[in-house]
């Protein structure tokens, strides 16, 4: 029992998409289902870690044993991550946070028009903001359509990550939802592990194992 308490760490895991409202009935989002983040949170909780799951809107039931926080927008997710990471040991940012949001949100439904223009502005870069948080192990994800290794390494360096999980969206590999996928996992020591046709549960187990070794 004492050994179990000694290994217990505080994990913050994000999952799912964010949604950025355009008007009361429309929004910008992406195809993220939250499956990866929920799998990681489930594994972390089962291993006895204190686990907080911050999730965008998805059709999944929160895993048992985790503290669950629901958000919608990138700004809401940023607020929760920044406040919850202060005393955390590890942040695993599996959420697909929208890079952009509408400059203005219409209070009324925008009627169809040939001349409608939607202006976008950048959302906050959450991982970049926690880059220099001392004592926090940071893991991120990269979804690419090409140059997967080079782009993942660039993101890892730019955002000061200890671990990055990358996958590619093409005709052979659809990273969204359930099923077997291809993953590329790179740690801060430059070690690369390729997972071929693996489930997200299997990928989550590898991520947790690597992160736990970093925290010892």
User: Is residue 15 within 8 Å of 58, Cβ to Cβ?
Assistant: yes
Q: Which among 162, 168, 161, 116 is positioned nearest to 142, based on CA atoms?
A: 168
Kindly state the tokens that stand for 30: 């992406």
Active site residue 30: yes
Number of other residues whose CB lies within 10 A of the CB of residue 197 = 11
72 Cβ partners below 8 Å, 6+ apart?
Answer: 18, 19, 56, 57
Residue 157 corresponds to which tokens in the numbers above? Answer: 């360096």
Active-site option among 30, 72, 151, 173: 30
Tokens linked to 23: 């008007």
139: nearest Cα among 84, 74, 195, 204: 204
Q: Which residues are catalytic?
A: 30
């Amino acid at each position: 029992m004492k050994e179990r308490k000694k290994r217990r760490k505080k994990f913050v895991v994000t999952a799912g998409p964010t949604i950025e409202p355009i008007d009361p009935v429309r929004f910008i989002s992406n195809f993220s289902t939250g499956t990866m983040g929920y799998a990681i949170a489930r594994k972390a909780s089962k291993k006895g870690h204190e686990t907080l799951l911050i999730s965008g809107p998805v059709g999944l039931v929160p895993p048992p044993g985790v503290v669950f926080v629901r958000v919608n927008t990138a700004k809401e997710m940023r607020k929760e991550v920044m406040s919850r990471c202060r005393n955390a040991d590890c942040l695993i940012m599996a959420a697909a946070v929208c890079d952009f949001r509408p400059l203005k949100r219409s209070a009324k439904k925008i009627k169809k028009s040939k001349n409608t223009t939607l202006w976008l502005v950048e959302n906050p870069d959450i991982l970049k903001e926690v880059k220099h948080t001392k004592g926090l192990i940071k893991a991120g994800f990269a979804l690419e359509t090409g140059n997967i290794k080079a782009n993942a390494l660039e993101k890892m360096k730019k955002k000061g990550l200890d671990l990055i999980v990358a996958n590619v969206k093409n005709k052979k590999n659809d990273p969204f939802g359930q099923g077997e996928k291809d993953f590329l996992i790179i740690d801060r020591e430059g070690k690369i592990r390729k997972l071929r046709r693996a489930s997200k549960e299997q990928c989550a187990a590898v991520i947790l194992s690597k992160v736990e070794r970093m925290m010892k």
